[in-house]
Amino acid sequence: MASISSWGGAEPMQRQIIIDTDPGLDDAVAILFALAASEELELLGLVAVAGNLPLAQTERNARRVCALAGRPEIPVYAGCARPLMHALVTAERIHNDPRLDAVLPEPEIPLQTQHGVDFLIDILRSAEPHTITVCALGPLTNIAMALVKAPTLIEKLRELVIMGGAGFELGNVTPAAEFNIHVDPHAAVIVVDSGVPITMIPLDVTHRLVTTEPRLAALRALPNRCGTAVAALLAAFERNRRAKFGSRAKALHDPAVIGYLLRPDLYGGREVNVAIETKSPLTIGMTVVDWWGVTGRKPNVRFMNTVDADGFYDLLTERLARLP
């Protein structure tokens, strides 16, 4: 497997990150994964976006995850409540699981009053150039709005790591499109054409990250409440998707972004051009990946397509053991 390190070059002792997210079952696991890696990742804030669930639920769930992890000091902001040009499409059948009330506690902190897009702009403007990594775990609405409002932010971003898209894999919300890109394809166009250094973790990677029973048992055996909670979240994620996706229901998506930040050597891919379809009713939201360079268009994305699944799950389990 050809491995690629991050666009930013040598890794600092601690990478500053912002997570833009729509929790969501697997988003919750990704947030916990990041909080469990506090020696390597400094989480500056969580920005909620509408996607898997409406905004009122995603921002509340983000605050609930922080409470579970014993990290009430992490600020949570609410961003955009709908995509740029379409009505919101959610995945509530999968992610609005009432059994989560037994897993996630009530929030310990209030929602921040500042709009999430303005938070992104303010914190990036105050940063040194090429220092902050944004992890995009949901639709790209907030990030696109920030880049439209303040285009010079691209100078401050070290890297944007996106869970989204598909290359050789099929879509998971339509035959052609992955959910996060499909929900707001116009935002995705703005982002991939912005000049920001982008790494994309698509379905080609996440469909290889299958939560097998031994891997789930290892998480369940962790002697802390977060290990038990993650096992319950992943079991619910698989259960709610089983009828539609079969064995692919066990694939794990959003935590793959955090795994990439911690161990980029587990991933392989190449720099390619990615274009987003916005007009065709059959393929809207499709990520058109020029893997072989046939268009001659300049590469704009580092597109991952392989991963060491055993290494990833070992890393996830080891880090989650550090949480309460």
Residue with tokens 């066990």: 250
Phi-psi category of residue 195: left, alpha or beta, with phi > 0 → left and psi -120 to 50 → alpha:
left
**Number of residues that make up the chain:** 324
In sequence order, the β-bridge partners of residue 162 are 136, 200
Angle at 206 between CA 201 and CA 208, to 5 degrees: 130
**Sheet arrangement for strand 132-136:** 76-78, 41-48, 15-21, 132-136, 157-163, 198-201, 301-307, 267-276, 287-290
Q: Which of 95, 186, 207, 253 is catalytic?
A: 253
Give the confidence band of 98 by pLDDT, cuts at 50, 70, 90.
confident
C-alpha span between 69 and 322 (Å, rounded)? 10
Q: How far is CA 166 from the centre of its chain?
A: 14
Q: In Å, how far are 63, 90, 139, 318 from 59, measured between CA atoms?
A: 6, 15, 14, 27
Indicate the Cα dihedral angle 114, 51, 82, 143, nearest 10°.
60
Q: In Å, how far are 82, 132, 214 from 256, measured between CA atoms?
A: 25, 19, 19
pLDDT, residue 9, reads 45
The pLDDT tens digits for 194-216 are 999 999 999 999 999 999 999 99
The pLDDT tens digits for 105-128 are 999 999 999 999 999 999 999 999
C-alpha span between 105 and 68 (Å, rounded)? 6
pLDDT, residue 243, reads 61
Joined together, the tokens standing for residue 86 give 């379409």
In sequence order, the β-bridge partners of residue 30 are none
| Of the candidates 51, 65, 20, the residue with the CA atom closest to the CA atom of residue 323 | 65
Q: Are 305 and 207 in contact (CB under 8 A)?
A: no
C-alpha span between 38 and 59 (Å, rounded)? 22
pLDDT, residue 4, reads 36
The answer, yes or no, to whether residue 5 has pLDDT greater than 50, is no
The answer, yes or no, to whether residue 257 has pLDDT greater than 80, is yes
The answer, yes or no, to whether residue 6 has pLDDT greater than 90, is no
pTM: 0.94
Examine the residue annotation and report whether 115 is marked as an active-site residue of this protein: no
Give the confidence band of 1 by pLDDT, cuts at 50, 70, 90.
very low
The pLDDT tens digits for 295-312 are 999 999 999 999 999 999
The answer, yes or no, to whether residue 166 has pLDDT greater than 70, is yes
pLDDT (mean) for 279-290: 97
> Count of CB atoms within 10 A of residue 104's CB?
20
The pLDDT tens digits for 39-77 are 999 999 999 999 999 999 999 999 999 999 999 999 999
Write down all domains in the chain, each with its CATH number in brackets: 15-320 (3.90.245.10)
The pLDDT tens digits for 207-246 are 999 999 999 999 999 999 999 999 998 888 777 666 666 6
Question: Over the chain, what is the mean pLDDT?
Answer: 92
C-alpha span between 165 and 35 (Å, rounded)? 25
Terminal CA-to-CA distance of the chain, rounded, Å?
A: 35
Q: What DSSP assignment string belongs to 238-265?
A: HHHHHHHHGGGGGB--THHHHHHHH-GG
Q: Are 182 and 220 in contact (CB under 8 A)?
A: no
pLDDT, residue 187, reads 98
Q: In Å, how far are 16, 64, 129, 207 from 13, measured between CA atoms?
A: 10, 28, 17, 31
What single DSSP character describes residue 115? -
Q: Residue 237 belongs to what H/E stretch? A: helix 225-245
